[in-house]
Copies of this chain bind each other. A is one copy, B any other.
Amino acid sequence: MPRARISDVAAAAGVSVTTVSLVMNDVESRISEDTRNRVREAARAVGYAPNSVARGLRTQQTRTVGLISDQIATTPFAGRMLAGAQDAARESGHLVFLVDTGGDDDIERNAISALTAQQVDAMIYACMWHRVVDAPAGLPPTTVFLDCRPAGGGFRSVVPDDRAGGYTATRELIDAGHRRIAYLDTDDAPIASRLRHEGYLEALSEAGITADPTLHVTGATTAQGGRSAADLLLDLPDDRRPTGVFCFNDRMAVGVYTAAHHRGLEIPRDLSVIGYDDQQLVAAEQDPPLTTIALPHYDMGRWAMEVALGVRAEGDEDATHLMECPVVRRDSVGPPPAQVAKPNRRRASHTERLP
């Protein structure tokens, strides 16, 4: 059975299609309450459901949005960002096309064409990590960049305020009384790591603490990477060993936990740790639960969608919106151990420095 059309409703109600259209779309004007009811009744009777495709062709508005992302499927961050974007889209009656390119340029090109062909009302280009990207060709100028900035500018974008986040994290440690604070950094995330490092240095200098280069170590953004980098830190002589560690992300912080445990160091009694990301199923599930800086994924997703859809007016066509990264306090940060640090239990294999 073919779907009922507007003309079927018109015939059933004994009115014109114009009238039906007006009623179905709740257009004010004319049309008596009587006919309105008659039309609605008829629509129900014939099982009428509107056809958005025909409507879209006529109005040149499809009420759809395209969301292109590089890695949505394989990262645990995707969810919140998507949720924010989805919620905003739904609230203004839009449906979202999601395309994951997996970083493949061909797929990306095709996606842009396909989405353009589908006449989407807006487009969002999302990355799963704060990055600077080359804007692909063919994107409409109204495209909003989510969690990334286009290299040449020219588009609106929203990214986390990683500099402020780095500052916040470091401040958290300073406020707890720490002075020897390490930054467990990474080379795998250029933009974010640099910004967080800047924030770290700023907080230190503001507190009158001279940054100690030996407390700035790097590793891969995994638990393993964090573990190795933490070993470097914990092998330092007692008077130079950090009492607090700010980690580039939560996964690396997990590595710090491991390294500490293997030395019999207890968190936060002997070592305070703060992460970044507030990654679900990671941060909160550690023992003790990890204090961290939250990446505002939901809010960024929502912001991007609202701006893309014009719900939120953003004057500047070429501005980057910075979104705050709040601290999430749990139990991995405490005061530093008593001034006279207890001896660091070295492993036998380590060479002691001779006097």
Chain A contacts to B: CB under 8 angstroms: 49-54, 56-57, 62, 64, 72-76, 78-80, 82-83, 86, 90, 95-100, 102, 107, 110, 113-119, 222-223, 251, 254, 258, 279-282, 285, 287
In the complex, what distance in Å separates the CA atom of A56 from the CA atom of B53?
Answer: 7
Output the nearest chain B residue to A224 by Cβ-Cβ distance.
B285
The winner among A74, A95, A115 for most chain B CB atoms within 10 A is A95
- B97 and A49 within 8 A (CB): no
In the complex, what distance in Å separates the CA atom of A114 from the CA atom of B95?
Answer: 8
- A98 and B100 within 8 A (CB): no
- A79 and B83 within 8 A (CB): no
| Residues of the B chain whose Cβ atoms lie less than 8 Å from the Cβ of A74 | 79-80, 83, 280
Show 7 A/B contacts (Cβ-Cβ < 8 Å), sorted by A. Answer: A49-B113, A51-B117, A52-B114, A82-B100, A83-B102, A98-B98, A251-B285
Contact of A116 among B49, B73, B97, B285 (CB under 8 A): B49
| Residues of the B chain whose Cβ atoms lie less than 8 Å from the Cβ of A114 | 52, 95
Closest 5 CB pairs of A and B: A73-B83, A73-B79, A52-B117, A98-B98, A223-B285
| Residues of the B chain whose Cβ atoms lie less than 8 Å from the Cβ of A76 | 76, 79, 280-281
Output the nearest chain B residue to A114 by Cβ-Cβ distance.
B95
Q: How far is the CB of A86 from chain B (nearest CB, A)?
A: 5
In the complex, what distance in Å separates the CA atom of A51 from the CA atom of B113?
Answer: 10
Contact of A90 among B80, B107, B118 (CB under 8 A): B107
- B99 and A97 within 8 A (CB): no
Number of copies: 2
| Residues of the B chain whose Cβ atoms lie less than 8 Å from the Cβ of A49 | 113, 116-117
Q: How far is the CB of A88 from chain B (nearest CB, A)?
A: 12
In the complex, what distance in Å separates the CA atom of A173 from the CA atom of B82?
Answer: 39
- Beyond the given pairs A51-B117, A53-B118, A73-B80, 7 more chain A to chain B contacts, judged by CB atoms under 8 angstroms and listed by A's residue number, are A49-B117, A51-B57, A74-B79, A76-B281, A95-B97, A95-B118, A281-B282
| Residues of the B chain whose Cβ atoms lie less than 8 Å from the Cβ of A223 | 285
- A254 and B285 within 8 A (CB): yes
Contact of A96 among B98, B107, B222 (CB under 8 A): B98
In the complex, what distance in Å separates the CA atom of A97 from the CA atom of B113?
Answer: 16
- A258 and B281 within 8 A (CB): no
**With contact pairs A72-B82, A95-B97, A97-B97 given, residues A118 and B285 touching in the complex (Cβ less than 8 Å):** no
- A118 and B64 within 8 A (CB): yes
| Residues of the B chain whose Cβ atoms lie less than 8 Å from the Cβ of A287 | 258
In the complex, what distance in Å separates the CA atom of A118 from the CA atom of B64?
Answer: 10
- B51 and A119 within 8 A (CB): yes
Contact of A62 among B53, B75, B113 (CB under 8 A): B53
Q: How far is the CB of A2 from chain B (nearest CB, A)?
A: 9
- A53 and B119 within 8 A (CB): yes
In the complex, what distance in Å separates the CA atom of A116 from the CA atom of B95?
Answer: 12
